[in-house]
Amino acid sequence: MSTAKKEYKRVTVKTLVDMKANGEKISMLTAYDYTMAKIVDGAGVDVILVGDSASNVMAGHETTLPITLDQMIYHASSVVRAAERALIVVDLPFGTYQSDPKEALRSAIRIMKESGGHAVKLEGGKEIKESIKRILHAGIPVMGHLGLTPQSIYKFGTYTVRAKEEEEAQRLIDDAKMLEKVGCFAIVLEKIPAKLAKQVAESVSIPIIGIGAGNGVDGQVLVVHDMLGMTHEFHPRFLRRYLNLYEDMTNAMAQYVSDVKAVDFPNENEQY
Binding residues for 3-methyl-2-oxobutanoate: 52-53, 91, 121
Q: Going residue by residue from 176 to 215, which x/- string records binding to ligand KIV, judged by CB under 6 A?
A: ------------x-x--------------------x----
Residues in the chain: 272
Which listed residue (11, 20, 30, 201) binds ligand KIV by CB under 6 A?
30
Work out whether 230 is an interface residue with ligand KIV (CB under 6 A): no
Looking at the Cβ atoms of 35 and 255, the one nearer to ligand KIV is: 35
Backbone angles phi, psi at 74, to 5 degrees: -60, -50
Write down the least CB distance from residue 7 to ligand KIV, Å: 26
Looking at the Cβ atoms of 234 and 256, the one nearer to ligand KIV is: 234
Name the binding residues for Mg(2+): 52, 91, 123
Write down the least CB distance from residue 205 to ligand KIV, Å: 21
Q: Please calculate the CA angle 82-107-63 and round it to the nearest 5 degrees.
A: 75
Q: Going residue by residue from 6 to 25, which x/- string records binding to ligand KIV, judged by CB under 6 A?
A: --------------------
* Helical H segments across the chain, by residue range: 13-21, 34-42, 54-57, 69-82, 101-115, 129-137, 153-156, 166-182, 194-203, 224-227, 245-261
The span from the CA of 22 to the CA of 65, in Å, is 37
Contact 68, 93 (CB under 8 A): yes
Which are the catalytic amino acids? 190
The span from the CA of 48 to the CA of 124, in Å, is 20
Looking at the Cβ atoms of 236 and 266, the one nearer to ligand KIV is: 236
235 burial type by CB count under 10 A (0-12 exposed, 13-18 middle, 19+ buried): exposed
Work out whether 223 is an interface residue with ligand KIV (CB under 6 A): yes
> Helix, strand, or coil here: 243?
coil
Work out whether 53 is an interface residue with ligand KIV (CB under 6 A): yes
Work out whether 217 is an interface residue with ligand KIV (CB under 6 A): no
- Residues lying near ligand KIV in the complex (CB under 6 A) are found at 30, 49, 51-53, 91, 188, 190, 211, 221, 223
